[in-house]
Structure 1
Amino acid sequence: MKTIAVYCGSSTGNDPIYMKQARNLGKILVDNRLNLVYGGATVGCMGAVADAVMEAGGKVIGVIPEKLKNVEIAHQQLSELHVVNTMHERKALMAEYADGFIALPGGSGTLEEWFEVFTWAQLGYHNKPCALLNINNYYTPILSLFDHMIEQGFIKSEYKDLIVMDNNSKELVKKLKDYKSTYIHKWQ
Structure 2
Amino acid sequence: MKNNKGNQLKSVAVFCASSDGNDSKIYTESYRMGKILAQRDITLVYGGSKLGLMGQVAAGALQNGGQVIGVIPDFLKTKEVVHAGLTELVTTKDMHERKLKMHELSGGFIALPGGFGTFEELFEIVTWGQLGLHRKPIGLLNINGFYDELIAMLKTMVRKALLRKENFDLLLIADNIEEIMEKMHNFKPMPVPQWMNKDQT
SS at match of 1:49: helix
Answering whether residue 66 of structure 2 is matched by residue 66 of structure 1, we say no
Answering whether residue 156 of structure 2 is matched by residue 148 of structure 1, we say yes
Ranges in structure 1 where 5+ consecutive residues have no aligned partner: none
Deviation of 1:153 (Å): 2.1
Does the CA contact (< 8 Å) of 2:133 and 2:194 recur in 1?
A: no
2:27 to 13, 19, 42: 19
Alignment of 1:95-174 (within 5 A): 95-174=103-182
Ranges in structure 2 where 5+ consecutive residues have no aligned partner: 1-8, 196-201
> CA-to-partner distance for each residue in 1:45-83, whole Å, 9 max, x for gaps?
000000110111010000011111238610111000011
Q: Which residue does the alignment assign to 2:55?
A: 47
Deviation of 1:159 (Å): 1.3
Structure 2 CA distance for aligned equivalents of residues 182 and 121 of structure 1: 10
Identity %, equivalent residues: 44
Deviation of 1:123 (Å): 1.1
Q: Which residue does the alignment assign to 2:88?
A: 80
The change in CA–CA distance for 1:181 and 1:92 in structure 2 (over 3 A counts) is: same
SS at match of 1:109: helix
Structure 2 CA distance for aligned equivalents of residues 21 and 35 of structure 1: 18
SS at match of 1:30: helix
Deviation of 1:151 (Å): 2.3
TM-score, normalised via structure 1 length: 0.94
2:18 to 2, 7, 10: 10
Does the CA contact (< 8 Å) of 2:12 and 2:44 recur in 1?
A: yes
The change in CA–CA distance for 1:71 and 1:147 in structure 2 (over 3 A counts) is: farther
What is the RMSD computed on CA atoms of the aligned residues?
A: 1.6
Structure 2 CA distance for aligned equivalents of residues 72 and 119 of structure 1: 32
The change in CA–CA distance for 1:186 and 1:147 in structure 2 (over 3 A counts) is: farther
AA aligned to 2:168 is: K
Does the CA contact (< 8 Å) of 1:29 and 1:173 recur in 2?
A: no
Structure 2 CA distance for aligned equivalents of residues 8 and 23 of structure 1: 12
Q: Which residue does the alignment assign to 2:101?
A: 93
Structure 2 CA distance for aligned equivalents of residues 151 and 177 of structure 1: 29
